[in-house]
């Protein structure tokens, strides 16, 4: 074989990839404007509808929202406070975005959720941009489509956690890195762009914002035998860019929160306790328990529903044989380099948390990696001839998806048939079972409280979701068998939009179990200056009361949970009550509002109480009869 023939063979993968990308894009009649417009419309239909409902939830929702609200009130951009206590556990970027939204739009449910929804839009467009670079216009659009309609992304943007923002910075960072591989000496803007995304991620979620991209790229370069490329990434100037963005807040936080009293200061809490000790499962105080390892990985795949059915074919496009990748970075075409990077992106995150404490949503930052793999394969399928292996594989997967849809339809109709619509004025809490404490190791553990009786409250969403599953998977199967893969994908998208609408509706119905908002409204009607709100439990159990009333709440019991560390500072407010101190003020003129998560709590057994309101299995007791 002569050198020209060898050169042609080496170039053929790139040519084939370009031909596939061009063919797929022409079949879809796509250009970048159409892709951006369609993804934005889909984002609006899924993520922007009903932004004001339901009310914010106790715990993670209103603890985080309250921290932003108090920073705004204090004109403080460095040290976070919640309920008047220093709240030093978290990185600040998500809270800064909330403050900006509050300043522009005021404080409300929708303005609290808006920054996260804008981050979702950013993530979809970043996924499209990265997929477009790796696979062409059709591949980019399919990747954004998969990301927008993935179950995990939708579920874990229902409350305030920063995982979607972490995903955004990772996606942009890997875009800069992949582009840099096309240049012998990467340009400044690519290197600095990557450094900036790492810094923004550190400001979003702490050290994992640096660990994930460095671990993924380091492993990628190690496997491809090109670690020396790191020396070309303009390490000195990139490090300065990283430090210029990430360092100032950390330095100011350390200076403004030094060790004082019993508190060891910001550096110990933020770096040692909240990151290293959390990874080792020795954080104080302990948070959620750990999700079992098998379930953790299974849920990672489930979060890609309904597109996970195409994941085996997508993984088949990843170069995994040692002979394919070792020392061959320069000979791998753009598509295969991207596939390898995207797989490592997801695996590094999942493996990292496999050795740590973990919750179901910890893998969400790895979801764009698998969404890109699937999106690239969907574009490849659409560009393939009707009788190709890719089309056959798509038909096989659609058959499995149809089987899941039929099973889901049968289960949904069964539960619909045995359910009974509750009587008017019902409290959903009365229809639920109380799950064992270990079940609440899951962030979605309250879903395990559902009973057949409680399902009667969800008859509408249950019926629509069942029909959507059957029709969506059925049309997908029917259209794929006739060679219309693009229309088949559209059927899946319509199905997921309907399913997510049902989930949103059910979430609103279930929200009184997760939120104390109705009780906060009841308190506001009667609260007067000098009155006191007391939570019988941890602050996070009823943080909604603090956020919606704007009143500092007291806690019956010692410092725990979110207030544990802030209470160690000398300037911590005195809001922790004992049964004795509560009894001493109970007979005074001021009204004491006590939130409790059980009827007739034993802590109030020796006091004369009046029930003011109840909702979602939670109660407000007072020392005066306010219903007269």
605 and 559 co-located in one domain: yes
352 and 409 co-located in one domain: no
331 and 466 co-located in one domain: no
pLDDT confidence of residue 151: 96
- Residue after which a domain boundary falls, among 513, 539, 573: 513
Q: Which domain holds residue 449?
A: 389-513
Please give the tally of structural domains in the chain: 3
The number of residues making up the chain comes to 628
246 and 330 co-located in one domain: yes
231 and 353 co-located in one domain: yes
Angle formed by the axes of helices 163-180 and 367-383, to 10°?
Answer: 60
Q: What H or E segment, with its residue span, contains residue 144?
A: helix 137-148
27 and 175 co-located in one domain: yes
568 and 506 co-located in one domain: no
Give 601's DSSP letter. -
129 and 208 co-located in one domain: yes
278 and 331 co-located in one domain: yes
Q: What H or E segment, with its residue span, contains residue 618?
A: strand 618-622
Among 611, 465, 449, smallest CA distance to 514 is for: 449
Structural domain includes residue 235: yes
pLDDT confidence of residue 9: 33
User: Does residue 592 sit in helix, strand or coil?
Assistant: strand
φ/ψ of residue 217, rounded to 5:
-70, -40
- Residue after which a domain boundary falls, among 383, 402, 432: 383
- Residue after which a domain boundary falls, among 383, 412, 434: 383
pLDDT confidence of residue 428: 83
Structural domain includes residue 18: yes
Structural domain includes residue 73: no
23 and 129 co-located in one domain: yes
Q: Which residues, 6+ apart, have CB-to-CB distance to 577 below 8 Å?
A: 534, 554, 555, 556, 557
pLDDT confidence of residue 591: 95
pLDDT confidence of residue 277: 87
* Six-digit token string for 597: 């998560």
Among 56, 59, 57, 55, smallest CA distance to 540 is for: 59
User: Does residue 612 sit in helix, strand or coil?
Assistant: strand
pLDDT confidence of residue 626: 85
Structural domain includes residue 99: no
Q: Which residues, 6+ apart, have CB-to-CB distance to 419 below 8 Å?
A: 452, 453, 455, 456, 458, 459, 462
Give the end-to-end CA distance of the chain in Å, rounded to a whole number.
Answer: 98
Measure the CA–CA gap between 378 and 367, rounded to whole angstroms: 16
Structural domain includes residue 67: no
pLDDT confidence of residue 436: 59
pLDDT confidence of residue 435: 59
Structural domain includes residue 77: no
Measure the CA–CA gap between 198 and 166, rounded to whole angstroms: 10
Instruction: Confirm if 283 and 273 have CB atoms less than 8 A apart.
Output: yes
Measure the CA–CA gap between 374 and 608, rounded to whole angstroms: 62
Structural domain includes residue 135: yes
Cα atoms found within 13 Å of the Cα of residue 386, Cβ hemisphere only: 6
Measure the CA–CA gap between 66 and 134, rounded to whole angstroms: 41
pLDDT confidence of residue 329: 60
Strands, sheet with 554-556, edge to edge from the N-terminal-most edge strand: 576-577, 554-556, 532-535, 592-596, 618-622, 610-615
197 and 122 co-located in one domain: yes
- All residue ranges of the chain with pLDDT < 70 are 1-29, 287-289, 321-331, 433-448, 628
Whole-number Cα distances in Å, 413 to 131, 418, 419, 447, 459: 38, 9, 10, 19, 10
Phi-psi category of residue 187: left, alpha or beta, with phi > 0 → left and psi -120 to 50 → alpha:
beta
pLDDT confidence of residue 14: 46
Among 598, 617, 512, smallest CA distance to 609 is for: 598
pLDDT confidence of residue 437: 54
Whole-number Cα distances in Å, 234 to 191, 194, 230, 509, 531: 7, 11, 8, 53, 60
Structural domain includes residue 91: no
- Beta-bridged to residue 260, according to DSSP, are 263
pLDDT confidence of residue 422: 82
145 and 274 co-located in one domain: yes
Instruction: Confirm if 352 and 207 have CB atoms less than 8 A apart.
Output: no
Measure the CA–CA gap between 309 and 301, rounded to whole angstroms: 9
């Amino acid at each position: 074989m002569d050198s020209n023939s060898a050169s042609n063979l080496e170039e053929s993968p790139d040519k084939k990839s370009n031909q596939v990308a061009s063919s797929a894009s022409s079949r879809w009649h796509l250009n970048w404007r159409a892709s951006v417009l369609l993804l934005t419309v889909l984002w609006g239909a899924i993520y922007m509808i009903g932004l004001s409902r339901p009310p914010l939830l106790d715990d993670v929702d209103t603890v985080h929202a309250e921290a932003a609200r108090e920073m705004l009130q204090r004109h403080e951009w460095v040290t976070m406070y919640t309920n008047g206590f220093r709240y030093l556990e978290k990185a600040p970027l998500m809270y800064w975005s909330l403050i900006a939204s509050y300043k522009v739009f005021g404080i409300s449910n929708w303005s609290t959720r808006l920054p996260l929804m804008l981050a979702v839009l950013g993530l979809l467009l970043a996924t499209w941009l990265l997929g477009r670079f790796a696979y062409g216009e059709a591949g980019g659009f399919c990747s954004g489509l998969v990301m927008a309609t993935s179950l995990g992304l939708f579920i874990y943007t229902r409350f305030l956690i920063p995982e979607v923002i972490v995903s955004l910075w990772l996606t942009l960072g890997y875009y800069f890195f992949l582009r840099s591989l096309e240049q012998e000496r990467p340009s400044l803007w690519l290197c600095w762009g990557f450094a900036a995304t790492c810094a923004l991620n550190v400001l979003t979620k702490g050290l994992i914002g640096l660990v994930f991209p460095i671990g993924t790229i380091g492993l990628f370069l190690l496997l491809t035998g090109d670690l020396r490329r790191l020396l070309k990434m303009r390490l000195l100037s990139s490090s300065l860019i990283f430090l210029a963005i990430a360092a100032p807040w950390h330095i100011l936080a350390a200076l403004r929160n030094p060790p004082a009293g019993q508190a060891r200061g910001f550096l110990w809490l933020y770096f040692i306790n909240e990151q290293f000790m959390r990874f080792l499962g020795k954080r104080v105080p302990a948070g959620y328990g750990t999700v079992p390892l098998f379930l953790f990985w299974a849920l990672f795949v489930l979060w890609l529903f309904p597109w996970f059915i195409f994941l085996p074919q997508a993984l088949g496009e990843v170069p995994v044989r040692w002979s394919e990748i070792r020392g061959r970075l320069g000979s791998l075409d753009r598509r295969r380099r991207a596939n390898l990077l995207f797989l490592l992106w997801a695996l590094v995150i999942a493996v990292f948390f496999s050795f740590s404490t973990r919750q179901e949503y910890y893998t969400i930052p790895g979801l764009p990696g698998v969404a890109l793999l699937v999106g690239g394969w969907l574009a490849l399928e659409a560009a393939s001839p009707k009788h190709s292996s890719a089309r056959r594989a798509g038909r096989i997967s659609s058959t499995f998806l149809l089987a899941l849809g039929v099973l889901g339809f049968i289960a949904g109709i069964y539960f619909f048939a045995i359910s009974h619509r509750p009587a008017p004025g019902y409290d959903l809490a009365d229809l639920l079972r109380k799950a064992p404490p270990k079940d609440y190791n899951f962030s979605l553990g309250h879903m395990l409280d559902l009973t057949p009786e409680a399902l009667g409250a969800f008859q509408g969403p249950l019926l629509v979701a069942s029909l959507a599953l059957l029709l969506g998977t059925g049309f997908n199967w029917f259209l794929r068998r006739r060679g219309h893969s693009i229309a088949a994908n559209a059927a899946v998208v319509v199905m997921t939009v309907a399913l997510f609408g049902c989930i949103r509706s059910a979430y609103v119905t279930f929200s009184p179990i997760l939120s104390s908002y109705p009780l906060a409204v009841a308190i506001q009607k009667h609260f007067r200056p000098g009155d006191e709100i007391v939570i019988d439990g941890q602050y996070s159990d009823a943080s909604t009361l603090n956020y919606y009333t704007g009143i500092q709440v007291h806690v019956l019991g010692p410092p725990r949970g979110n207030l544990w560390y802030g209470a160690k500072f000398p300037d911590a407010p005195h809001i922790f009550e004992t049964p004795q101190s509560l009894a001493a003020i109970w007979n005074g003129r001021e009204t004491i509002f006590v939130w409790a998560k059980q009827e007739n709590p034993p802590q109030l057994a020796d006091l004369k109480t009046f029930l003011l309101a109840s909702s979602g299995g939670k109660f407000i007791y007072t020392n005066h009869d306010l219903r007269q």
